[in-house]
Amino acid sequence: MPEQDAAPGGSGEVLPEVTLLGGVFSRGDVAAGDAAWLQALLDAEAGLARALERAGLAPAGAGAAVTRAAVAADLPAGDVAEVARASGLTGNPVPGLARVLARRVPDFAAPAVHRGATSQDIMDTAAMLLARRAAEVIRRDLMTAARAAARLAAAQRGTLMIGRTLLQQAVPVTFGVVAAGWLAGLDGAVTGLDAVADARLAVQFGGAAGTLASLGDAGPAVAALLADELRLAAPPLPWHTERLRVIDVAAAMARVTAALGKIARDVTLLSQTEVGEVAEGAADAGADGSPPGGAPRRGGSSAMPNKRNPVASVAILGCSRQVPGLLATLVASAEQELQRAAGAWHAEWQPFSDILRLAGSAAAWGADLLGGLTVDTAAMTANLAATGGLPLAERVTGLLAGALGRPAAHDLVAAAAGRAASAHVPLRDVLLALPEVGQAGITAGQVDAALDPAGYLGAAGAFVDAALRAHQEVENEHG
């Protein structure tokens, strides 16, 4: 888990520390490392102190005093080390942190630290705070990526290209409808994040066994006040061993990386040298295309100076490939015993952190990728023309079906396509040489019309327009 430094001011924001792999897997502003956890734990403790004061269970000013002390950046290194050591004795960092925090507040406020809570209350609440902060950052980057996809879909609405199914050339499509498909995935990921952030991020506050017995009748009121203080949902009851909220967060993050991974995979395929229909932008290049200050250029190879690798796409795929396993671990960990789990809860912490970090990195890379993507329409035209009309075989079959019947027309065109491919001649020439075509009364003009890719796009334009309208609704939600 990458380490991060807490930002001053106790705002819950942290600044990423430079790490060896952080440029790939910790890109963007999602904070889910040790310092982010530390601040979130402190925020949960501070929120509890404020809630206790509001409920009349702590002296006036206790909440403010604990909040002032609950700033990760202000903790001496020795205190942080003490918390880390204590976590090995108690199985989690909260007991050590509570002791450190109680020492750092005035005597009158110390009883408000951790009162009524168990360690899992603070850890789970901190996890929800991390998830909310991550969702805000990821949503921003997804919206940036979606806007770029929408621009591509609109600008390339009618740009012809070959469609590919099972990695083989199929029928013509437009790059506009390809980008519209990317856009729909991104919008779906945003919508999923919204649903989780709005309804599934809740405080955890149940005390030792989920009854808040130590607070007597005041327990539910304190739980509600804690939710209000932290701007999290107030659940009907504690969820110590009901872990669907954790799974919901992780699933939303998996949806994010799935949507981005599809885009990245398309870009890697379309940017192959032999295809060359799109290319990633050189985000770090100067006006003349060279890297600034002699720095290594984006996409460069250590061995091959000619290479321009699709780094953003590769990084997204590197993130997205890890997420399903992390999600599986969290789902497997949801089977927890009775009132408090023995190990399954502990197994959640690292994969939960990693899934937030990887989704955030993929989203940041996605915004960069789509914002700088270049489209080579000439390459698209050339690749489509290189097929010699073969992708329109389906349409020619329809043209002949009226006279020959569909099975006979299918077999005739299949044989013609085979001859055209083996002889490397246009399908048109083979078709017009067939006596069956003339006998069916099909003219050369009709064959030419059937082989015109612009006339065989179906509802591609309508689908682009529908995706753009749907995206506008998402924009309106976040305007």
CB 428 within 8 A of CB 447: yes
Token pair belonging to 171:
């029928």
Phi and psi at 278, nearest 5°, equal -135, 165
Query: Rounded CA gap, 138 and 130, in Å?
Result: 12
The verdict on whether 301 is a catalytic residue reads yes
Query: Rounded CA gap, 394 and 68, in Å?
Result: 71
CB 152 within 8 A of CB 136: no
CB 263 within 8 A of CB 366: yes
Residues forming a β-bridge with 173:
161
3-state secondary structure of 286: coil
Q: Strand runs (DSSP E) across 312-414, as ranges?
A: 374-375
CB 222 within 8 A of CB 52: yes
Which is nearest to 245 in space by CA: 125, 398, 134, 138?
Answer: 125
Token pair belonging to 133:
């902060």
What's the CA dihedral at 307, 308, 309, 313 to 10 degrees?
Answer: -170
Q: Which parts of 231-305 fold into alpha helices (H)? A: 244-270
Q: Would residue 56 be called left, alpha or beta, if left means φ above 0 and alpha means ψ between -120 and 50 degrees?
A: left
Catalytic residue among 151, 265, 340, 419: 340
Q: What is the H or E stretch that residue 307 is in? A: none
Exposed/middle/buried for 247, CB within 10 Å: 0-12, 13-18, 19+? Answer: middle
The verdict on whether 353 is a catalytic residue reads no
Catalytic residue among 301, 357, 361, 428: 301
Token pair belonging to 464:
């682009």
Q: Which residues are catalytic?
A: 301, 340
